[in-house]
Amino acid sequence: MAYKTENALGLFFGLLMGVLIFGFTFWGIDFSLGADDRTLKIMLYIPAYLFLAFYLFLIVGLINMGYRIEESGLTIKWGLYSVTLPWTEIDELFQVQGRGNIFSMLGASWPGYMVGLYSVKGLGLARMFATTPQKGFIYLKTACGFYGITPADKEMIKAIADKANKEVQVVDMDEISEEIKGKNIQDDRFYKILFNLNLFFLLLFAAYLAIFFPGSGAPPSIILLLVLAVALFFFGIGNAGRLYQFSEQGGCILLLLTLAVTGIFFILSLSEITLR
């Protein structure tokens, strides 16, 4: 029997952000660099296309993500990848509830989508093939590895328990102490302030260029600064969240550095447009 995931939010957000970010990136590189900058343009296009290919790979994986209960075992499908967990190999079965502290070890995520290797503080590592595990998920401990899945049909866990002949253990993450599951990044006000400041200054930078750059006589290369600022923003927030779990100060410092570089780009644009 096949089970789907609730991937509407993740797919909508992923497609929207992909069109906006990659559309602007490719336009910005082409607009900023002329025929004399062919080498630099190629050097920027290569990683941009590689990231686009990887992003499309993630989107295809989300579209094709699902689970199937078969006689041989539980099959997890994601894009072109699939793995079957034999029923005899399933050691423990958990229904995880509450807000867990989940962070990436080697994975990709955005609202409504999480895939890759993640650490679930209080439980352990898990290969996530999920949409919204923050709202709860099925955690499987098997001889083939640990997995996290989020079927749309909440009754699927009963079918797994029957096939694997295992008892469903309930874990409420809200009842686990902070000493065990660690501090949730969403509960750190200073980190949230730095994150919001990064987003605010990036949007302010974009708005400033949209209003004052046209007709200013400034070189088109100014737009490239915004392209780099966008890339830096996603690099910063992605790695800061991961670093935070090992060093709270390190995660905050990385956000501060990202904010500082964006500020420098902003100042350079001001000098070329407003102060020229």
Q: How do residues 82-93 score in pLDDT, each as one tens digit?
A: 999 999 999 999
pLDDT at residue 187 in the model? 81
Per-residue model confidence (pLDDT) at position 186: 79
Low-confidence ranges of the chain (pLDDT < 70): 275-276
State the chain's mean pLDDT as an integer: 91
Alpha-carbon radius of gyration of the chain: 22
Provide the whole-model pTM.
0.88
- pLDDT for position 275: 64
Predicted pLDDT of residue 242? 86
pLDDT of residue 215: 80
pLDDT score of 276: 59
b or e along 152-165 (b: 16 or more beta carbons within 10 Å of the residue's beta carbon)?
Answer: eeeebbeebbeebe
The domain spans of the chain are 2-63, 88-178, 185-271
